[in-house]
Amino acid sequence: MQTDTGSERETAGVVCPPPLVYFAGLILGLGADWLFALAPLPQGSAAGGLWLGGAFGVSGLLLILWAGGRFIGAGTPLPPHRPTTALVTEGPYRRSRNPIYLGMALIYLGVVCATASPGALALFPAVILVMEFGVIRREERYLERRFGAPYRSYKSHVRRWL
């Protein structure tokens, strides 16, 4: 049996798959709404909340598809538990180092608007903190080890979120 200790097997070591971080926040928030009978957020009208939520959700989905397409085009895997094979800096990555996570945040906020969920809104900062420290910063350390100077240069002129 051969042991592979090469960098091609190294990964970012994120705490959890990013979609699960957002999903857990939504489920816990919506559960808190139900469990504690929290009053819905004011939204003017139910239709207004649905329209705003839909706009956030569609925008987030389109951003994820655009950014994910860049990963696929570069031949590098999307899941952070797999080794990265290419540094993607084009398309939405010219403006944000994490457009997929930004898209997930937009979808999360879309669900908050559509459901008028105070629980999910209250948990949004915690979700962002888990993403920041449990996912993004770990990925940044990994990418710096993996790509060195090119990644440091990219990181110096492209913002983490927006």
Q: What is the pLDDT of residue 2?
A: 25
Whole-model pTM: value is 0.92
> What's the mean pLDDT when you consider all of the chain?
93
CB atoms within 10 A of CB 9: 10
The answer on pLDDT for 5 being more than 90 is no
Q: What is the pLDDT of residue 9?
A: 62
Q: Are 75 and 51 in contact (CB under 8 A)?
A: no
